């Protein structure tokens, strides 16, 4: 525990939050469905990209494929804007309202893509409308993962944050698996002409009823305890109880609100000024996880068909068991990080990525189903080390008062630059260097960058979130926390919202 120049106020039993397990699971289901929707949308677009290219980008090769990947990348390039606008709003008005907004916007955008007329029908207007809908999707998803990760991180106990957070990405990759399975089924039950004409649209239409279910679920969850505590603190400090004419009162009000300037640029400036290092660390972690993740989920369908020669049915079908195994295994890695720490798990993943990326691609090139599955599974395992930790490690970098804004900025900029562009970058690298191992090289580079980020990151397993009091699962744990507060290095009073403590003090 860090030593202060003065003794912080003691923590009382009432300061420690005990998780309501039924509310926790209800919140998890609602947020998990949103992540399922987000990645289902991306997955469907990736798995029907052959038809998207045919109907919207009738260009000579390789420009037709690059145009489709660039359109997919639009979703990610606009995400930072969604995060920057929705993040500050959520830090002010609450988590669940924005999460309800994002899920209905995502599902509506996906449904409408399935309704678009083609280039052959209305000319250049068709790809313009497609890009516009991907823009809308990107804006809404800019508030999705950052919001759900923040929400669950604040809901979960300090000891199980890794386990519960990993379920968000379980939903994400099940969304991809569902998209792959549905497209494969459509290709089996329809003729080539039917699939090319209207069958590809069905996968997009399914998104609307899923979104309505998600909207209902998200409209019936409670705000996180950590957010409600910050709201109460704001009201107390900025209200009559704080003399804002004094320097001490002004500092308290600033700390509670996340900065004096509440404008968009003011909040961004505040975050870079006070959390620049954390933003860089988090961006490195996101790059590593997302490059590997998108290499598997958005690049591989095209790689399996265009490079390895599989037809679209078998190419998509091969990914289904891999994605299901990866999804089910994520909570195991999340739970492991709660036991041994986030940093050891992520470092191990970076090492595995550097060592086994090339062998994974070599296996896929052997032209056997078993070897292709083995290669895909190796990439999936590399991804599991990283992705399983994101939802618990990233929110721990930032304080409660500005966590969503910081997450929306950092996560979405990193995903836009390195995640959503993965397919485009690898395809371009393949054409530039003339090697089918371009994907392996890019994965290795991302793992090296991620390893640097992990090296500088503070261990967060078992610790209270910055700007929040300890959170436990059972009532009896409250006494254990109080008794071990002075000796347990994981509980640092400097990071808790205690009056008079020099915590993240001027920074929260």
Per the DSSP assignment, residues forming a β-bridge with 17 are: 471
CB 453, CB 284: distance < 8 Å: yes
In 295-396, where does DSSP find H-type helix? 300-302, 312-340, 342-364, 369-393
Cα dihedral across residues 216, 222, 226, 230: positive or negative: positive
Which of 317, 316, 292 has its CA nearest to residue 51?
316
Q: How far apart, in whole angstroms, are the C-alpha atoms of residue 89 and residue 238?
A: 18
Q: How far apart, in whole angstroms, are the C-alpha atoms of residue 40 and residue 25?
A: 22
Which of 391, 439, 340 has its CA nearest to residue 153?
391
Q: How far apart, in whole angstroms, are the C-alpha atoms of residue 406 and residue 398?
A: 7
pLDDT of the chain, 508 residues: tens digit per residue: 444 444 444 577 777 888 878 877 877 887 777 778 877 887 888 788 888 888 888 877 777 777 887 887 777 778 777 777 776 676 666 566 777 777 888 888 889 999 999 988 998 999 999 999 988 888 877 666 777 788 788 888 889 999 998 988 888 888 888 888 898 889 889 988 898 889 899 999 988 888 888 788 777 766 666 656 656 655 555 554 444 444 444 444 444 445 555 566 777 788 888 888 999 999 999 999 989 988 988 788 778 888 888 876 777 778 888 988 988 999 999 999 999 999 999 999 999 999 999 999 999 999 888 999 999 999 999 999 999 998 899 988 988 777 877 887 888 888 878 877 888 889 889 888 888 899 999 999 999 999 999 999 989 888 888 878 888 888 888 888 787 776 777 777 777 776 544 444 334 4
H or E segment at 52? helix 49-56
Which of 460, 339, 329 has its CA nearest to residue 388?
329
| Distance set, CA 254 to CA 94, 348, 389, 395 (Å) | 19, 39, 31, 21
Joined tokens for residue 285: 């972690």
* pTM for this predicted structure: 0.76
Q: How far apart, in whole angstroms, are the C-alpha atoms of residue 457 and residue 26?
A: 31
Q: How far apart, in whole angstroms, are the C-alpha atoms of residue 299 and residue 371?
A: 18
C-beta pairs of 51-54 under 8 Å, 24+ apart in sequence: 51/195, 51/196, 51/200, 52/130, 52/200, 54/196
Which domains does the chain carry? Answer: 21-223+262-468 (1.20.1250.20)
Q: Whose structure tokens read 């804004």?
A: 405
- Is the peptide bond between 442 and the residue preceding it cis, with omega within 30 degrees of 0? no
Q: How far apart, in whole angstroms, are the C-alpha atoms of residue 268 and residue 261?
A: 10
Cα angle, residue 128 at apex, residues 136 and 78 outer, rounded to 5°: 35
Q: How far apart, in whole angstroms, are the C-alpha atoms of residue 442 and residue 27?
A: 36
């Amino acid at each position: 525990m860090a030593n202060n120049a003065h003794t912080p106020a003691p923590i009382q039993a009432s300061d420690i939050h005990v998780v309501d397990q039924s509310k926790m699971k209800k919140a998890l289901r609602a947020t998990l469905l949103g992540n399922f929707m987000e990645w289902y949308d991306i997955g469907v677009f990736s798995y029907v990209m052959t038809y998207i290219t045919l109907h919207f980008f009738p260009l000579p090769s390789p420009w037709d494929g690059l145009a489709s990947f660039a359109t997919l990348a639009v979703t990610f390039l606009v995400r930072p804007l969604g995060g920057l606008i929705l993040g500050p709003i959520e830090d002010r008005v609450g988590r669940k309202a924005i999460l309800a907004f994002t899920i209905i916007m995502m599902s509506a955008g996906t449904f409408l893509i399935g309704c678009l007329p083609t280039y052959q029908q209305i000319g250049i207007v068709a790809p313009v409308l497609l890009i516009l809908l991907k823009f809308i999707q990107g804006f809404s998803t800019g508030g999705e993962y950052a919001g759900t990760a923040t929400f669950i991180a604040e809901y979960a106990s300090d000891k199980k944050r890794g386990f519960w957070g990993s379920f968000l990405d379980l939903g994400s990759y099940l969304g991809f698996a569902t998209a792959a399975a549905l497209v494969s089924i459509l290709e089996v039950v329809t003729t080539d002409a039917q699939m090319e004409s209207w069958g590809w649209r069905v996968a997009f239409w399914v998104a609307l009823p899923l979104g309505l279910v998600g909207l209902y679920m998200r409209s019936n969850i409670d705000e996180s305890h950590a957010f409600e505590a910050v709201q109460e603190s704001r009201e107390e400090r900025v209200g009559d109880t704080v003399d804002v004419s004094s320097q001490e009162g002004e500092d308290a009000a600033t700390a509670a609100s996340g900065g004096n300037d509440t404008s968009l640029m003011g909040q961004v400036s505040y975050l870079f000024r006070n959390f620049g290092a954390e933003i860089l660390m988090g961006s490195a972690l996101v790059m590593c996880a997302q490059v590997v993740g998108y290499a598997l989920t958005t690049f591989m369908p095209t790689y399996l068909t265009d490079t390895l020669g599989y037809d679209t049915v078998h190419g998509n079908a091969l990914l289904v068991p891999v994605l299901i195994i990866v999804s089910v295994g994520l909570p195991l890695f999340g739970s492991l990080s709660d036991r041994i720490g986030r940093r050891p798990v992520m470092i191990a993943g970076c090492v595995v990525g550097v060592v086994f990326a090339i062998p994974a691609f070599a296996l896929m090139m052997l032209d056997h189903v078993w070897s292709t599955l083995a290669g895909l599974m190796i990439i999936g395992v590399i991804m599991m080390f990283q992705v399983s930790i994101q939802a618990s490690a990233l929110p721990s970098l930032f304080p409660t008062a500005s966590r969503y804004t910081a997450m929306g900025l950092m996560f979405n900029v990193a995903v836009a630059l390195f995640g959503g562009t993965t397919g485009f970058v690898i395809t371009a690298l393949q054409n530039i260097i003339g090697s089918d191992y371009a994907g392996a090289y890019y994965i290795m580079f991302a793992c090296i960058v991620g390893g640097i980020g992990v090296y500088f990151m503070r261990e967060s397993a078992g610790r209270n979130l910055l700007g929040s009091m300890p959170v436990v699962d059972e009532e009896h744990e409250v006494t254990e926390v109080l008794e071990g507060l002075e000796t347990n290095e994981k509980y640092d009073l400097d990071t808790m919202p205690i009056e008079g403590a020099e915590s993240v003090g001027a920074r929260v």
